[in-house]
Each structure stands twice: as structure tokens, then as C-alpha cells.
Amino acid sequence: MSDTLTPEIPQIPLAGVIGWPVAHSRSPLLHGHWLKRYGIKGHYVPLAIRPEHLAEALRVLPKAGFVGVNVTIPHKEAVLALADVVTDRAALIGAANTLIFRPDGKIHADNTDGYGFIANLRQNAPDWHPERATAAVIGAGGAARAVVASLLDAGVPELRIANRTRLRAEQIRNEFGARVVVYDWGQVGNMLEGVGTAVNATSLGMDGKAALRVPLDALPATALATDLVYTPLDTPFLIEARERGCRTVDGLGMLLHQAAPGFERWFGHKPEVDEELRAAVLA
């Protein structure tokens, strides 16, 4: 029988998350919730890929019916060199968390962490106006780079940053431009003076890690404080900021929102980030 007589088999789209290890990822829970909720015939699976197998995996996955993947540690930087098209924001951040396997065979790499960060704040603090006051970012790791890019994009007039390893903060200033001002790690307390937005982008405060201990005396009560850490939801930084009268937004919403653009591209439905999704991911 010739191929032309073979009926077209409808493809069930597959997506997933690649990492090493990957078992800790909440992405399968999150996307699984959306697939079920919208009645979409598709699957989202965790894929444990060793670093030495990354290039091969990206060649094979599209041929196996995958329409794209999320990318987690340790592959976020390495995928940039393997992608055919890299968005400006992923290139600037130096990492990608969302890959789209296009029908023409090209791999498109994007970074949606910054989008997720801003969308979370806009949803949970609708009267937040980033363009009206200075922002302060504590930490200069991979996630901080996405936060810095998104805050600058949202129009903050000045962005202060401090990191234990000062060099990483200086690299961010060199790459992101003159609105970025570097503070010493010992000066974080002073850095918070007069800011409208304060972000913990370090991993301090995570379950099993030391708390972020910085004097918050200078943090204005009018500021919005947010944390990228979401285990626990209420971090020592957020608790202390709230005691000072600040509005606080936890980091789980960033995780939920960063997933939405990928889901829409892969499965053709714009998903909602709401209480039902939060509950499903926390369960």
C-alpha cells in the first residue's frame, strides 16, 4: 500500500519539562490541571535528560510528537546554543525556559520567567505602578536576571541590586545598562530606602535554607514586597515586610504565570491562572 492511501492519523500533542533531575518539578501538575480542565487531548510529562544527552534529545523529541518543552536546571543556558531562533529577552537573560518545536523543524527558545514575575504582581497588586519608583532586587542569579529585564521593561526609573557575589550584580549592570545601580551586599538595608518595589531573588528563605536577614527599617510601608521563593509561600522576608505595613505577593503566582505562554503555543488555548490552579499545584 502506498503512503498516499494511509489515512492521516490525528496527532495528540505532547509537551513536557526537561531537567536533570526533574522529579521535583511542579510543571506536570500545572499543565496536567489545565489539560484536564479544558478537555484537551494532550499530554505533559517530566523528562529526565542528562546534560550529555541534551542535544540528542532536542533532535529526537520533535520527531516523537513533541510540540515543545519547558526547560529547567541545568539546561536553561545550554539550550540557547541548540535553538535556531532565540527571542531577544531570552538572549538578554542568557537562559530559556520554554522551547517551541516549530512545524518547519526549527527550535524556538524563549524565557517567560520575567513575564510570569510581572503578571503575578499585576494580578495580585493591581494598583502597583513600577514606573513610579525605584525597585530593589536582592540576588543576581539566573532568576534575578529575568526579574531585572522585566522590571526595566515595565519602566522602573532606577533598579538597585545587591548580591553576595558582587561581580554577578556588576555583570548585570554592564549588560542591562545605566538604570541599574549596584550596592554592596552589606548595604542591602540602605538599598531599600525610598523604593516602591523590593524583590528577594536569592534562594534564601527556602525550606531547608537560612532566612534572608536584612534590616527592613528603610523599606517604605508603601512598597510592594515580593519573593521568588514559594516553598514556603510565606517567607521570613514577606512576613517581616508585611509587619512593616507593606503589601506582599508570594512567588507561586510567578511559577503559574510563566507556564501560560508555553501552554497556549503548544495546546492552542490561553489558560487561566486562578485559585483553582493554585490549589491544584499546592495539593
Residues recorded for the chain: 283
Is residue 119 near ligand NAP by the rule CB under 6 A?
no
Specify whether the CB–CB gap between 138 and 214 falls below 8 A: yes
Marked catalytic residue, from 41, 76, 106, 209 = 76
For residues 128 and 101, what is the distance between their CA atoms, to the nearest angstrom?
36
For residues 17 and 2, what is the distance between their CA atoms, to the nearest angstrom?
37
Quick one: which of 25, 72, 112, 163 contacts ligand NAP (CB under 6 A)? Answer: 163
Q: Kindly state the smallest distance separating residue 12's Cβ from ligand NAP, in Å.
A: 28
CA distances from 259 to 21, 115, 116, 196 (A): 19, 10, 8, 27
36 is catalytic: no
Considering only 9-17, 51-59, 159-167, 218-226, which stretch makes contact with ligand NAP by CB under 6 A?
Answer: 159-167
Instruction: Kindly state the DSSP code that residue 217 receives in the 8-state scheme.
Output: T
For residues 229 and 205, what is the distance between their CA atoms, to the nearest angstrom?
7
Q: Kindly state the smallest distance separating residue 14's Cβ from ligand NAP, in Å.
A: 23
Instruction: Single out the residue of 114, 247, 86 nearest to residue 176, CA to CA.
Output: 114
Is residue 165 near ligand NAP by the rule CB under 6 A?
yes
Is residue 206 near ligand NAP by the rule CB under 6 A?
yes
Quick one: which of 203, 236, 269, 278 contacts ligand NAP (CB under 6 A)? Answer: 203
Quick one: which of 140, 188, 219, 260 contacts ligand NAP (CB under 6 A)? Answer: 140
Amino acid identity at 17: V
Considering only 8-16, 38-46, 198-206, 240-248, which stretch makes contact with ligand NAP by CB under 6 A?
Answer: 198-206
Q: Kindly state the smallest distance separating residue 163's Cβ from ligand NAP, in Å.
A: 5
Burial class (CB in 10 A: 0-12, 13-18, 19+), 7: exposed
Considering only 10-18, 34-42, 150-158, 222-230, which stretch makes contact with ligand NAP by CB under 6 A?
Answer: 222-230
Quick one: which of 22, 136, 143, 149 contacts ligand NAP (CB under 6 A)? Answer: 143
Question: Nearer Cβ to ligand NAP, position 248 or 258?
Answer: 258
CA distances from 67 to 32, 97, 99, 114 (A): 15, 14, 9, 23
Is residue 182 near ligand NAP by the rule CB under 6 A?
no
Strands (E), the chain: 14-19, 43-48, 66-71, 85-86, 98-101, 107-110, 135-138, 159-162, 180-183, 197-200, 224-227, 247-249
Quick one: which of 37, 164, 179, 265 contacts ligand NAP (CB under 6 A)? Answer: 164
Q: Kindly state the smallest distance separating residue 68's Cβ from ligand NAP, in Å.
A: 18
Question: Nearer Cβ to ligand NAP, position 151 or 254?
Answer: 254
Catalytic residue annotation: 76
Footprint on this chain of ligand NAP (rule: CB under 6 A): 113, 116, 139-144, 163-165, 168, 201-204, 206, 210, 228-230, 251, 254-255, 258
